[in-house]
Amino acid sequence: MSTSNARNPRLQPHERLDTFQEGRLRVIQSRQGYRFSVDALFLSQFVTIKKGDLVLDLGTGCGIVLLMILLERPDCRAVGLEIQEELASQASRNARINGFQSRMGVVLGDLRRPPLSMGCCDVVVCNPPYRRKDSGRINPDRARAVARHEILASLGEILASARGLLRGKGRLAMVYPAVRLADLMTRMRGHGFEPKRVQIVYPSLKDEAKLALVEATAGGRSGARVLPPILDQGDYSVS
């Protein structure tokens, strides 16, 4: 990833404009605050998207997951829900500078009380906070703290929101720490989701798993496919 000065939109002093995917995607994000990681890229590549799907990203941040999906899938639409005004602004501007404004909307709101119609979408994606509210040191940077710890929404609240917002047998895709995989899958079933696809991320063949990607179907039948593992950063590099 490299800093770009070409065709700059209006940036805040604390923001920068990066190019990604060999210049096909431009992303506004904070210089030192919350910045997306490869986890979000894995999620965008992993989730199943069908023609005509409306994809909703809970806690969209700068919108990177949806931007990546829209870049590769011109036959779907997307909505990002974000509670932090600064990040919602970045996501909205990112949609515009990449030419996705007609296919991607951004809504400022709380996923626990989403300002959206129930049963409005076909797919929900979420790269949620990984740490419980009472575990570890809370980052003094508010945006980073909310992204890392369950300060504004717990896993159960995220799953409940996703279940209500999905229509029919919609799909939910999430990325989560491998050490909490059992917790995620158990909670999914408790909220009416059946895990159908699982993919594990390993730093190397000699290391324990770091992340798990899980896609579940609302009201689906039991039976999950475990996909080949991802090693290191897979197809991506954010250096």
Confidence of residue 4 (pLDDT cuts 50, 70, 90): very low
Mean pLDDT of the region 190-219: 97
CB 200: neighbour CB atoms within 10 A?
Answer: 17
Mean pLDDT of the region 188-208: 97
The domain in which residue 45 lies consists of: 36-231
Share the mean pLDDT of the chain: 89
| Residue 236 within a domain | no
Write out pLDDT tens, residues 225-239: 999 999 998 887 544
- Strand locations in 62-165 (E): 77-82, 104-108, 121-126
Mean pLDDT of the region 118-129: 96
Mean pLDDT of the region 88-112: 97
Q: How far apart are CA 27 and CA 4, in angstroms?
A: 9
* Residue 79 to residues 47, 70, 100, 122, 191, Cα–Cα distance (Å): 15, 11, 11, 11, 22
* Model confidence at 116: pLDDT above 80: yes
Write out pLDDT tens, residues 42-81: 999 999 999 999 999 999 999 999 999 999 999 999 999 9
* Model confidence at 93: pLDDT above 50: yes
Q: What is the CATH number of the domain that holds 127?
A: 3.40.50.150
Q: How far apart are CA 164 and CA 215, in angstroms?
A: 17
Domain count across the chain: 1
Q: pTM of this prediction?
A: 0.88
pLDDT for position 82: 97
| Residue 239 within a domain | no
Write out pLDDT tens, residues 128-168: 987 555 555 544 455 544 445 345 689 999 999 999 999 99
